[in-house]
């Protein structure tokens, strides 16, 4: 399912309930686990337990099974405490879904996000990209032994002649205000759409260098008082596209002790 720029999957549990799960490369989950809201667990026939990990305890969900031919791809590697999913915090920002397939689950498979066709495809393990396609690498954090330390993908754009590393985030969410919607013309469902984020310090630098780039005050309501900035052109690999609207985010959200710690 494709809706207002987001992909959703809708498996059917043996209980008959069909959850709506957003496909979010920047989303929650780890060790092959997807993520669920607590209030959805019983509808899926699952149970919540506390799982002890070396450095923390976490609420996990087990006992979920799906109808034949209507389930999720199975992670074959061992999962924390043999669970199926992790419990989402109440403030995780999932408003239009029952949960998510986040980075820790998606990384166990090969996916094609076909935005023109509005389809997401699970590819076989021997899949190879079209040799004539434009190649844009994703990078991941690795430890000193060369082992991947995080499943959050980073992609680098060129903007205004400089590389700008960003989280590749298929779940980035917007709640545009009337002013933001008028400027951007993005599709929304129940007020929700998609967005690209940029930290405030970069936002301010762009504005200082290019006062002609359009800014919308109070353009998004997900965080009150959020500004938008219109970048005329970005370069992704060899492709130039634009204009692209970015939504301001506090520097601390992507600082060295937050998301940047987990990105390549």
pLDDT digit of tens for each residue in the chain (264 aa)?
999 999 999 999 999 999 999 999 999 999 999 999 999 999 999 999 999 988 888 999 999 999 999 999 999 999 999 999 999 876 555 667 999 999 999 999 999 999 999 999 999 999 999 999 999 999 998 888 888 888 999 999 999 999 999 999 999 999 999 999 999 999 999 899 999 999 999 999 999 999 999 999 999 999 988 999 999 999 999 999 999 999 999 998 775 554 544 444
Strand-pair partners of 75: none
Q: Are 228 and 220 in contact (CB under 8 A)?
A: yes
Distance CA 249, CA 196 (A): 10
pTM score above 0.85: yes
Is beta strand 196-199 parallel, antiparallel or unpaired with respect to 239-241?
A: unpaired
Q: 43, 78, 38, 77: which is closest to 61 by C-alpha?
A: 38
pLDDT at residue number 96: 75
Torsion of CA 195, 196, 201, 203, to 10 degrees: -80
Residue 179: what are its φ and ψ, rounded to 5°? Answer: -65, -40
Distance CA 174, CA 242 (A): 18
Angle CA(157)–CA(6)–CA(234) in degrees, nearest 5?
Answer: 20
Instruction: Delineate the domains of the chain, giving CATH numbers in brackets.
Output: 2-123 (2.40.70), 154-262 (no CATH)
């Amino acid at each position: 399912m494709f809706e207002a720029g987001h992909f959703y999957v809708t498996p059917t549990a043996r209980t008959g309930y069909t959850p709506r799960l957003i496909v979010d490369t920047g989303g929650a989950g780890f060790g092959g686990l997807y993520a669920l809201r607590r209030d959805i667990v019983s509808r899926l026939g699952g149970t919540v337990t506390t799982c002890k990990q070396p450095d923390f305890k976490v609420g996990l969900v087990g006992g979920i099974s799906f109808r034949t031919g209507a389930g999720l791809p199975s992670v074959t590697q061992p999962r924390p405490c043999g669970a199926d999913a992790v419990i989402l915090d109440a403030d995780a920002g999932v408003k239009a879904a029952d949960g998510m397939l986040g980075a820790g689950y998606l990384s166990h498979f090969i996916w094609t996000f076909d935005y023109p066709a509005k389809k997401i495809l699970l590819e076989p393990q021997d899949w190879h990209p079209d040799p004539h396609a434009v190649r844009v690498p994703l990078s991941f954090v690795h430890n000193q032994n060369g082992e991947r330390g995080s499943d959050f993908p980073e992609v680098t754009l060129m903007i205004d002649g400089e590389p700008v590393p960003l989280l590749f985030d298929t779940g980035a969410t917007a709640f545009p205000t009337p002013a933001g919607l008028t400027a951007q013309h993005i599709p929304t469902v129940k007020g929700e759409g998609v967005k690209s984020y940029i930290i405030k310090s970069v936002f301010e630098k762009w504005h200082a260098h290019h006062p002609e780039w359009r800014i919308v005050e109070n353009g998004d309501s997900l965080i009150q008082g959020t500004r938008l900035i219109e970048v005329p052109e970005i370069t992704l690999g060899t492709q130039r596209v634009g204009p692209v609207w970015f939504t301001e985010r506090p520097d601390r959200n992507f600082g060295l002790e937050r998301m940047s710690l987990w990105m390549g």
